[in-house]
Structure 1
Amino acid sequence: MKIAFYGSSLVSAYWNGAATYYRGLLRALAEKGYDITFYEPDVYDRQKNRDIDPPEWCKVVVYEGMIEALKDVAARAGEAEVVIKASGVGFEDDLLLDEVLRAAKPQALKIFWDVDAPATLGELRAAPDHPLRRALSKINLVLTYGGGDPVVDAYRAMGARDCIPIYNALDPQTHHPVARDVRFNADLGFLGNRLPDREARVEHFFLEPAAQLPNASFMLGGSGWHDKPMSANVNYIGHVSTRDHNAFNVTPRAVLNVSRDSMAENGFSPATRVFEAAGAGACLITDFWEGIELFLKPDEEVLVARDGKDVSDILAGLSADQAQLIGKRALNRVLADHTYASRAMTVDAIFRAHAARQMEAAE
């Protein structure tokens, strides 16, 4: 089957947290025989900050951030059996959704893939006449990056025919154990861009413990933190290319995951960083969110902190040997249960079941 996928970017992870998710899932689907074209706009300097070349397993079409260019690529939805519009494309999302749905063949499977369901649902609740809400009746299926029952129930209540979470996972070809790198030496590392709905939690779970443990070393990676007040034992290194993520994850004694406010509130939303860190064999400390035990076993495969004091206490009592053992267990768990190959099996079954129903309805 041909897939036309309209998303933020496949070739650039610059201000684009969904890149790893897209790459892992689409590569695995391509290995199952899908013919995929990914359409992405040239916005936010992403094309100037590519971290991979267009892959062999997916055709990438980059279009200018102009209305006519958008309409041109949207018209190509008519060539596919599966048409996917993702959330957060970054240029005229509402118009793109309308144009893609208009161009899609009647028998095509039409999917909205939400990579930030809490934010999207917040918009829909605030605007009953939101274009996406009006379009749900034309969409066969909503897939989400995470969210569990709260997100599924909310989408169905707003008119979605069906909603299924497809969780993040590990791509062992890109995230795996590597040698430690002295550039990333630290007791605790955190990698994440500065975002309004995560900043206070980063202060609480990372910067406050750093101030409380002056003899420990902390490393902060990600964009936007340059003017943020922080203690002298925090080494801010700015943007970290995806090619260095494995080394960043495996070098510190432990690495930290901090969820955005909305993700933590909804639960069942493991960030890509969780699986990237586990895939490198890192010892991961994460803030608490509902459902984490479905992915990693607390105290054995991941360490869970409910506040900044927990982070300080965990780090103060964590030996290098303990950290290494936790990281090894996490790696074994995600390789066994949480790879994109296994997620793709689920997506493939969903596509085939829904496509068959759509064909029957169109006859």
Structure 2
Amino acid sequence: MKIAFYGSSLLSSYWNGAATYYRGILKALAAHGHQITFYEPDAFDRQQHRDIDPPEWAKVVVYPATVEAMRGVLAEARAADVVVKANGVGVFDAELLDGVIAQARPGALKLFWDVDAAATLDEMRGDADHPVRRALPDLDMVLTYGGGPPVVNAYEGFGARECVPVYNALDPETHHPVAPDPRFACDLAFLGNRLPDREARVEEFFLRAAADAPDAAFLIGGNGWHDKAMPANVRDIGHVGTREHNAFNCTPRAVLNVARDSMANVGFSPATRVFEAAGAAACLITDAWEGIEQFLVPDEEVLVARDGQDVADHLAALTGERAQAIGEAALRRVLAEHTYELRGVQVDAILRDRAAQGREAA
């Protein structure tokens, strides 16, 4: 099938945490014979911070962040069998969603792919005229980055015909064990952009842990932390491109995952960082959220913390041998059950099944 995908960016992870997810899912779909065109705006300096070249498995169209250019790329939706609007493009989100519905040819599948479903649903609850609420009757289905039964039930309660979570996963060709890099040497590392709905949790799970363990070395990567007050044992290194994620995960004694508020509250929403770290055989400490057992076994494949004190306690008890054992167990688990190849099988089956249903109905 020809897929027209309107998202934030495939080429750049700069202020774009969904990049790894898009790359993994769409690369896997291309392996099933789908022809993918990804439309991304030239916005937020992402094109100046590309971390991959245009891939062979997708055509990428970068358009100026103007109304005229947006309308031009929307017109190309008419040639697609499947049109997808992802949330969080950052410019013209409402117009793009309305546009893909209006421009899709009769019989084409129209999907909304929500990579921040918990936050979107919170917005919808507070706004009866929210663009996604208005669009649901005209969409064939909603796919989400995660969220489990709470997100499925909420979307279907708002009128979605169908909602299916397609979880983050691992592309072992991209994320895998590598040699340590002295630039990332520390006891605990955290990688994530500074966002309003995550900052308080980073303060609790990372900065409080650093304050409670003054003899340990902590490392924080991601955009926006440069002017944040931090304990003296925390080193801020700014944006870390995806090419460096393997070394970032492999070098520290442990790495930390901190969910955003909405995802932690809903549960069943493992971040891409979880699978990147597991793919690198890193020892992962994660904040507690419902459903973690669906992806990794606590105390065997991941360490789970309820607060910053738990993080500090885990770190104090963590020997190099145990960290290695946890990381290797996590790698085995994700290779067996949580790869983008498997997610590609899932989405390919969904698209072919819904297309067949549409033909029968016609």
Whether these two folds match at TM > 0.5 is yes
Distance 1:213 1:135 in 2: 49
Query: SS at 1:40's partner residue?
Result: strand
Counterpart position of 1:301 = 301
Counterpart position of 2:177 = 177
Distance 2:65 2:131 in 1: 20
- 1:285-307: CA deviations, max 9, x gaps? 00000000000000000000011
* Residue 90 of structure 2 corresponds to residue 90 of structure 1: yes
* Preserved contact between residue 5 and residue 37 of structure 2 (Cα < 8 Å): yes
- State the 1:308 CA deviation: 0.7
* Preserved contact between residue 5 and residue 39 of structure 2 (Cα < 8 Å): yes
- 1:327-354: CA deviations, max 9, x gaps? 0000111001000000110111111111
Taking only the aligned residue pairs, the percentage that are identical comes to: 69
Could you say what the CA RMSD is over the residues aligned between the two structures, in angstroms? Answer: 0.7
Name the aligned partner's letter for residue 198 of structure 1.
Answer: R
Name the aligned partner's letter for residue 66 of structure 1.
Answer: T
Distance 2:134 2:357 in 1: 22
- State the 1:262 CA deviation: 0.4
* Residue 347 of structure 2 corresponds to residue 347 of structure 1: yes
Distance 1:299 1:57 in 2: 38
- State the 1:265 CA deviation: 0.2
Counterpart position of 2:291 = 291
- State the 1:227 CA deviation: 1.1
Distance 2:187 2:129 in 1: 49
Query: SS at 1:168's partner residue?
Result: coil
* Residue 205 of structure 2 corresponds to residue 205 of structure 1: yes
Query: SS at 2:107's partner residue?
Result: coil
* Preserved contact between residue 255 and residue 282 of structure 2 (Cα < 8 Å): yes
* Residue 88 of structure 2 corresponds to residue 100 of structure 1: no
Q: Mind listing any 5+ residue stretches in structure 2 that lack a counterpart?
A: none
Query: SS at 2:237's partner residue?
Result: strand
Question: Under a length normalisation based on structure 2, what TM-score does the superposition of the two structures give?
Answer: 0.99
Counterpart position of 1:229 = 229
Distance 1:239 1:197 in 2: 19
- State the 1:231 CA deviation: 1.1
Question: Under a length normalisation based on structure 1, what TM-score does the superposition of the two structures give?
Answer: 0.99
Distance 1:69 1:251 in 2: 43
Name the aligned partner's letter for residue 263 of structure 1.
Answer: M
Name the aligned partner's letter for residue 289 of structure 2.
Answer: W
* Preserved contact between residue 78 and residue 105 of structure 2 (Cα < 8 Å): yes
- 1:12-65: CA deviations, max 9, x gaps? 000000000000010011011100000001110100110000000000000110
Distance 1:84 1:25 in 2: 13
Q: Mind listing any 5+ residue stretches in structure 1 that lack a counterpart?
A: none
- State the 1:360 CA deviation: 2.6
Name the aligned partner's letter for residue 140 of structure 1.
Answer: D
Q: Write out the 4+ residue segments of structure 1 that deviate beyond 2 Å after TM superposition.
A: none
Deviates further, 175-184 or 118-127:
118-127
Counterpart position of 2:358 = 358
Distance 2:280 2:92 in 1: 37
Query: SS at 1:299's partner residue?
Result: coil
- State the 1:235 CA deviation: 0.9
Instruction: Count residues with an aligned counterpart.
Output: 362
Counterpart position of 1:24 = 24
- State the 1:358 CA deviation: 1.8
- State the 1:357 CA deviation: 1.4
- State the 1:134 CA deviation: 1.2
Query: SS at 1:89's partner residue?
Result: coil
Query: SS at 2:91's partner residue?
Result: coil
Distance 1:14 1:61 in 2: 17
